[in-house]
Amino acid sequence: MSDNWPPEQVSLNEGARVLFLTKNLELIKQQLYNGLNLRMEDLSVEDLLDDINTDVMTPAWVCFDYDPAMIANNAYAGLMHEGERVFAPNALKDGGFEAIVTGHRKGTGSSRETAAQCERWSGIRIVIAASFAPIHERNNINLGQLMGDHEILKRLQDGESISLSEFTSKYDSVTQLIIENGGIFPFAKKLKADEIELPDVDSTHRPMTMAEKIISNKLIGLNGVAKCVSPGDAVLAAVDGGYSHEFTTAQVHRFLQQEYGDDYAVPNPSKFAVFEDHLLYATGVPRFGPFEEKIQLLRDLQISFQQHTGVRDYSAVNGISPGICHQVAREEFIDVGDFIQATDSHTCMGGASNALTYGVGSTEYANLVHNQFAFVKVPESIRFELIGTLDDGCTAKDVILHILWKYAKNSETLDRSMEFGGPGLGSLSMDERATLCNMATECSAKTGICEPDNLTVEWLLSRRDDLTEEDIRSAFVMPDVNAHYDGGVHTINLDEIRPMVAHPGNPDEGIPSDPTNGAYIDELGDVSIDIAYAGSCTAGKDDDFAYYAMVTKAALDAGLTVADGVECYIQFGSKTVKDLSERNGWSRMFEQAGVKLIDPGCGACIGAGPGVSNESEQVTVSAINRNFQGRSGPGKLYLASPLTVMASAFTGKITAWRSDLFDEGPSWN
Ligand code: SF4
């Protein structure tokens, strides 16, 4: 890796190659293995793969390595053709490529920085796409990668030398500085050494959205002077807390050792944490069994990091996790008005508590946990004004699937803060609000955030001894009247929401598996299922379990158990959720009905636990958040609400819940 990157003038090096990820996968193989060199002028953007997601770039098992050089050996291991890897081990590294080219929305999916690392440590320094998913773009910036479009590529291939500013001018001034200095670490060091001067923020008073207000409350370097911020402002903001898990902590530890020496310190560890929640059941999945040693090393390095820094320790006890990081964090330490960052894309779930929370990559997290500030580009906002109340057969999951289908699909939520408010929000429990915020990341939004109310106070007080009502209310952040929403204000009438799924598409025919593939259940026709999975950070909360219990009780009362041929799994989001389920007698009831209960943690959601499919023909209905091809096994996955998942487990096909569903025997057939 060159220390002199990026140069003032950017050109393709003599002999360096450009890899085009074409929809015609044979062409990719020709480039990788037979020396085919393509030119942009001979292709159109439509010929290139869209929606390359991070699971394709570095599937979960690739992330069991924490050294970026090792990760690069398996770059794009998730891109499959007729059951075979398109990219053999080391294929990207050995190809001598300097630039890589795709179509739209490069890097959707999780926040995993390994996706960006696999390219950089394969020698790629220029990444070309029509558009990038926000977190992936950020990860590229933090690693000092240059991103450009297909027109820039044409000029580079024509031998032109292009000024660095052409790559950076689309960004705010701080992002430009980060890229010009080669990434977030060199930038942070120069900032500390006073070698970089930050641009000032316009202090003109203006009405602000909730996200803007929280950022303006956290601005650093202003000596207590209150300032307003606007979308696009590039600022440094104090971070209140954060967390990482065993998939990511090892890299954080390693990067900090590399940058600041073995005796680096984390100055304020009390609201930072590590979680053992993602890989507890991974070694029980046959395809992950061979990685047992690597997984253990990740666990060991997380323990080393925790002991070195003194951050909160949420390690498994006797092999049982305290719970999924996002769920436990909102239960135990995210406060109203906080600015929280963590190494997982569903960090945005904390927005239910009226906090600004979003996921970052390992490099950015390592920087913020050490330096206690984050670079923030103030996001635009889009507001969803909820009115009415949900029908008994619907949950917040149906609302967010509706938003994915009607708004996110058209990129209206892209990189924006999704602000939820209005009288309808008051009718949704705190757990339901968490579902809305959780899936902001599937909307490719920056984050989701809810207005606070009495329920916020009650929910926090019932869980937290360290808070008073006054503490909570005084921290409330409401949007200003006349705040500006670049994405507009959209009324969602909850009365009109109908039970929905996101269908698995047909990747072989160019329809990607995507959470935006909305469809109403009553228009789906018969879809028989093999697996019903209920759990994950999206659907492992107290109120999700109340839904599972309600449907299960109705089924048992009607003399039903889980349908023949269907495997039904329910996984607790945290230990407190498990305790609740046991106290209420739900756990016994689930088992009576033939449900398999799984201890707290992440599992099927990342293909690393019980509930994954094993055959491509298997059909799963799942309460999780992503249906990307291959993420939870090779089968077809429909995303649905907790009510739909449980109702379907008993009927054997995708079925919306209604209170009289089981009254007249198997009339759903
Ligand atoms: S349950 Fe799934 S989406 Fe949620 S934190 Fe775990 S792996 Fe990520």
In the chain, what are the domain boundaries?
9-189, 500-651
pLDDT band at residue 266 under the 50/70/90 scheme: very high
Within 8 A by CB and 6+ apart from 279, the residues are: 246, 247, 295, 298, 299, 608
DSSP reduced 3-state for 220: coil
Distance 535 CA to ligand 1 centre (A): 9
Banded model confidence at residue 665, pLDDT cuts 50, 70, 90: low
Atom of ligand 1 nearest to the CA of 535: 1
Residue pair 212/228 in contact (Cβ under 8 Å)? The answer is yes
Regarding beta strands 636-640 and 500-502, do their DSSP bridges make them parallel or antiparallel, or are they unpaired? Answer: antiparallel
CB 98 within 8 A of CB 153: no
**Cβ within 8 Å of residue 132, ≥6 positions away:** 105, 106, 107, 140, 147
Residue 451: CB atoms within 10 A of its CB come to 20
- Ligand 1 centroid to Cα of residue 286, in Å, is 20
Residue 573, number of CB atoms within 10 A of its CB:
29
Is the CB–ligand 1 distance for residue 348 below 6 Å? Answer: no
Closest atom of ligand 1 to CA, residue 245: 5
Q: What is the pLDDT of residue 3?
A: 62
CB 605 less than 6 A from any atom of ligand 1: yes
- Assess whether pLDDT exceeds 80 at residue 508: no
Contact criterion met (CB below 8 Å) for 58 and 112: yes
Distance CA 48, CA 55 (A): 18
The Cα–Cα gap between 368 and 242 comes to: 9
- Ligand 1 atom 6, closest CA: 602
Check if the beta carbon of residue 448 is closer than 8 Å to that of residue 351.
yes
- Can you say whether the dihedral through the CA atoms of 589, 594, 599, 605 is positive or negative? negative
Q: Other C-beta atoms within 10 Å of 372: how many?
A: 15
**Token pair 């491509």 in the structure block, residue:** 616
Return the SS3 of 155: helix
Distance, in Å, from the CA atom of 362 to the CA atom of 113, rounded to the nearest integer, reads 6
Is 70 exceeded by the pLDDT of residue 223? no
**Both tokens of residue 217?**
């409350």
Query: What is the best residue among 288, 343, 602, 612 to mutate for testing ligand 1's pocket, by most ligand atoms within 8 Å of CB?
Result: 602
CA 29 to chain CA centroid, Å, is 30
> For residue 120, how far is the Cα from the chain centroid?
21
Which DSSP string do the residues of 19-87 spell out, in sequence order? Answer: EE-BSSHHHHHHHHHS-----GGGS-GGGBPP--BHHHHS-GGGGG--SHHHHHHTTTTT-EETTEESS
For 215, the enclosing helix (H) or strand (E) is helix 210-218
Determine the distance separating the centroid of ligand 1 and the alpha carbon of 628, expressed in angstroms. Answer: 13
CA–CA dist 499, 263 (Å, integer): 54
Give CA–CA dist 336/457, Å, rounded.
9
Residue 667 has pLDDT above 70, yes or no: no
CA distance 379 to 444: 12
Identify the residue whose C-alpha is closest to ligand 1 atom 4: 537
pLDDT per residue as tens digits for the range 447-465:
999 999 999 999 999 999 9
The rounded Å distance from CA 507 to ligand 1 centre is: 23
CB 602 near ligand 1, within 6 Å: yes
DSSP percent split of the chain into helix, strand, coil, nearest 5:
40, 20, 45
Residue type, 558: A
How far does the centroid of ligand 1 lie from the alpha carbon of residue 345, in Å?
9
With a 6 A CB cut-off, is 237 part of the ligand 1 pocket? Answer: no
pLDDT tens figures, 68-88: 999 999 999 999 998 899 999
What is the Cα–Cα distance from 553 to 142, expressed in whole angstroms? 50
User: With a 6 A CB cut-off, is 606 part of the ligand 1 pocket?
Assistant: yes
Ligand 1 neighbour 576 (Cβ under 6 A) = no
Give the pLDDT band (50/70/90) at residue 347. Answer: very high
Q: How far is CA 137 from the centre of its chain?
A: 13
CA dist., res. 468 & res. 483, Å (int) = 29
Between residues 510 and 399, the one the model is more confident about:
399
Termini Cα distance of the chain: 61
Written as one letter, the residue type at 496 is E
Q: How far is the CA of 438 from the centre of ligand 1 (A)?
A: 10
Determine the Cα–Cα distance for residues 381 and 536; give it in Å rounded to an integer. 27
Contact 528, 653 (CB under 8 A): yes
Mean pLDDT over each residue of the chain, to the nearest integer? 93
Q: pLDDT category, 1, cuts 50, 70, 90?
A: very low
Query: 409 is written with which tokens?
Result: 């699909």
What CATH topology corresponds to 500-651?
Aconitase; domain 3 (3.30.499)
- The residue whose CA is least distant from atom 2 of ligand 1 is 605
pLDDT given for residue 630 in this prediction: 78
In this predicted structure, what is the pLDDT of residue 2? 47
C-beta of 211 in contact with ligand 1 (< 6 A): no
Question: CA distances (Å), 130 to each of 45, 113, 404, 479, in order?
Answer: 8, 20, 21, 33
Task: Work out the number of other CB atoms within 10 angstroms of the CB of residue 544.
Answer: 31
CB 1 within 8 A of CB 68: no
For a pocket test of ligand 1, which of 574, 625, 628 has the largest count of ligand atoms closer than 8 A to its C-beta? Answer: 625
Of 397, 493, 488, 476, which is closest to residue 437 (Cα–Cα)?
397
Q: Write the residue with the smallest CA distance to atom 1 of ligand 1.
A: 536
Q: Does domain 9-189 have CATH number 2.60.40?
A: no
| Ligand 1 mutation target, pool 276, 346, 397, 435, most atoms within 8 A of CB | 346
Tell me how far the alpha carbon of residue 505 lies from the centroid of ligand 1, in angstroms: 22
- Express each pLDDT in 9-46 by its tens digit: 999 999 889 999 999 999 999 999 999 999 999 999 99
